[in-house]
Amino acid sequence: MNDATHVLIDLDGTISDSSPGIARSLQHAFSVCGYEPPTDEQVRTVIGPPFEVGLPTLGIPIDDIERVVWAYRGRYEDVGLFENSVYPGIAEMLDELVAAGHTLSLATAKPETTATRIIEHFGFTDHFAVQAGATIEVGTGRRTKAEVIEYALISLGLGAADLPRVVMVGDRDHDVEGAHLNGIDCIGVAWGFGSPGELETAGASALVDTPAEVAAAVAATYRSVRP
């Protein structure tokens, strides 16, 4: 049998459908800041990457992103983060991965302090050895998925020789790209916020349609590091 793999797992669009709370909070922020609120469908296109990347595509000038983000957080941190539901089969997926001997870690571009609250709210804290997220400052610190993954690997005490035993699981192209920049594979999940073909184009090593398929995909993606 292969040695156990470290599995890094995204949050928004992978563990939970966070779109209702994000949409309502962004729409609130746009209104407060004097912009036309985006539709729910437009919001879905920016869930995942840092808002520095997504908000300009919705018409927010770069020099006003921080003001909009803080207005967003004013509602999201109190209300929006709980307008959120776990996808069917995720609890069983996490249990199956742990039972198989894998070490699980969260790797999300959502601010880490917010992500840990959400994971605790869902009762999943004990499943994760590390909960890695972004820093809260807009435009500085640990913001991209690549930076979050690097931070997770360091927090796990993993080095270059360990990378063949690490797999990322996520729903957007930035999950794949961030994984590749850190020298690891990424399994794409089809139930999240990615557009058709997005994960394949980014180079996901596998694509799964349901959480029940993830454990087998992790086993298939695993690359032995034995000499």
Give percent above pLDDT 90 in the chain.
Answer: 90
> Do 28 and 73 fall within a single domain?
yes
Strand 128-134: give its sheet, edge to edge.
Answer: 128-134, 103-111, 6-9, 166-170, 185-189, 206-208
Which listed residue (10, 12, 17, 185) is catalytic?
Answer: 10
Q: Give the separation between CA 169 and CA 210, rounded to whole angstroms.
A: 12
> Do 121 and 180 fall within a single domain?
yes
> Do 118 and 11 fall within a single domain?
yes
> Do 52 and 143 fall within a single domain?
no
Does 226 reside within a domain? no
Give the pLDDT band of residue 4 (cuts 50, 70, 90).
confident
Does 11 reside within a domain? yes
Does 191 reside within a domain? yes
Q: Give the separation between CA 168 and CA 6, rounded to whole angstroms.
A: 9
Task: Based on the residue annotation, tell me whether 10 is a catalytic residue of this protein.
Answer: yes
Give pLDDT tens digits for 117-166. 999 999 999 999 999 999 987 767 898 999 999 999 999 999 999 999 99
Domains in the chain, number: 2
The CATH number that applies at residue 77 is 1.10.150.240
Ordered DSSP codes for 22-66: HHHHHHHHHHHTTSPPPPHHHHHTTSSS-HHHHGGGGT--GGGHH
The CATH number that applies at residue 206 is 3.40.50.1000
Residue 115 belongs to what domain range?
Answer: 6-17+85-221
Give the pLDDT band of residue 225 (cuts 50, 70, 90).
very low
The token pair that represents 60 in the structure block: 């927010």
Does 153 reside within a domain? yes
Does 142 reside within a domain? yes
Residue 130, strand partner residues:
105
> Do 116 and 143 fall within a single domain?
yes
Give pLDDT tens digits for 14-41. 999 999 999 999 999 999 999 999 999 9
Does 227 reside within a domain? no
